[in-house]
Structures are given as structure tokens and as C-alpha cells.
Amino acid sequence: MQQKIPISIVMPVYNEEEVLERTVREHYSEIIEAIPGSEFIIVDDCSTDNSPLILERLEKELPGIKVLRPEQNGGHGKALRLAFENASKELIFHTDSDYQNNPKDFWKLYDQLDNADLIIGYRSSRHDPFHRLVITRIVRLVNLVSFGCYLKDANSPFKLIRRDCLTKCLESISPEAFAPSILLALTAKWKGYRVMEIPVEHFERKTGKVSIANWRIVRACLISFSDTIKLRRTLGNSKPMK
């Protein structure tokens, strides 16, 4: 049997006390225990519920878990960036802490490593509020107009990426980016890396609280759109996608 490549799981966390332990334990048993030498990087973005206590206990109990806490809340984008920058393995797997994805679907991505540098698990059957589905369609259009590429689910929080691809792409993405996950997919396409999207299961969110809601959604969309345009300008003089 071919030896499996060690994984860095990266997971941003903010106020997910109701489902956090289940999320961490299932990812741990499904991936960390199955692939020797892997690690689990969790960034607690200054949660105000019991998430820090849960993570402290899990970090002590489960080898390979490393919990990071910035001095102040910086939002999902900065938390994800911090996790990326602290991942040390050849493969990096980005997943969220709200248990809207099935940890077992990781293997669908892993099985495609011979064919891609970035594998995105796109949510083929979304169980999100209507406004989030609309936002996804707007993101697709913006990406198509700005970069000339069509991605079904660029902002999916379920991605497996090779270290070289991640490192090279992050060089072009601002550390202040609001949605680095979208920019990562676009930059990888632009730089000619092999990007693949495969369908994965998506669950309805039954716990916790959505951090971006009401009028903040409009502001988030405007910031994300601005970041996309800035990235396109940054990459303007570089080699475009193949």
C-alpha cells in the first residue's frame, strides 16, 4: 500500500461551542489518526463562548492538535490566513468548524491528488439561506468577468491544496483579504495550477450563529468584490492561466 502524505488540517473557529467538539473529533479520527505525521491547526478567533475551553481540553488530550489565538478578533479571513501560515505539511486541508461538511468527504479530494494541485469540494446541494445562494452566484459572475474563469464554488470551506501552490498563491494575496479562500482559487487558476472541483455533501447549519448577516452581508460582498479587483490588478503583469 502506498504511504499516505501527511496533512495539515486548518480550521478557523469562532463561537461554535455546540458543535465544535464533534467537528474536531470526527476530523481527527477520520484524517489525523489515518495518516501518520499529520497535524491539526485550529485558530480560535477570540471566541466569546465556551469554544476556548473546549479547544484547550482537546489540545491536551489529542496529539497533533495546535490551537492558536490572535490577540484580537480579526474575522474569518485573517484567522484562515494565520492557520495557512502555520501549517507545516506537504498537503493542507481547509475545513470549517460549523459541521456543514462531512469529514469523510476528505477522501474524495485526496483521491484526486494525482490530477490536481488544488481540489475544491463544491457544495452540489447547498443547504444555506437564500441570500447566501444568491451571493454564490454573484461571486461566480464577478470571478468570470474579472478573471475569465468559471468556478462553481470558489469560497467553499472544503479545499485540499499542495504546499507549493498555497505558498506561491499567498505571495499575491493581501494578508488583509476578507475572503482569502476565493482569492486562493482564482490565483491558483491564474498561475496555471491544476484546479479541480468535485461534489461533496453539505449539511444545514443547525447550531451556532452566522457571523455575517443582514446589512453586513452587503458590506462583505463589496469588500470581497474590491479584493477581487485588487488581486486582478496585482496579477495583471504576471503569467496568466494556461
Q: What is the pTM of this model?
A: 0.88
What domain range is 204 assigned to?
A: 7-234
Confidence of residue 207 (pLDDT cuts 50, 70, 90): low
The predicted-structure confidence for 53-77, as pLDDT tens digits, reads as follows 999 999 999 999 999 999 999 999 9
Confidence of residue 1 (pLDDT cuts 50, 70, 90): very low
Is the pLDDT at 83 greater than 90? The verdict is yes
| In-domain check, residue 99 | yes
Task: State the distance between the two ends of the chain, measured CA to CA, in whole angstroms.
Answer: 34
CA distance 214 to 217: 6
Q: Which helix (H) or strand (E) holds 23?
A: helix 20-27
Total domains in the chain come to 1
| In-domain check, residue 242 | no
| In-domain check, residue 154 | yes
The predicted-structure confidence for 12-21, as pLDDT tens digits, reads as follows 999 999 999 9
3-state SS assignment for residue 190: helix
| In-domain check, residue 240 | no
What's residue 50's pLDDT? Answer: 98
CA distance 144 to 138: 10
| In-domain check, residue 2 | no
The predicted-structure confidence for 118-132, as pLDDT tens digits, reads as follows 999 998 776 556 556
| Domain containing residue 121: CATH number | 3.90.550.10
Identify which has the larger pLDDT, 210 or 229.
229
Q: Please state, rounded to an integer, the average pLDDT across all residues of the chain.
A: 89
| In-domain check, residue 212 | yes
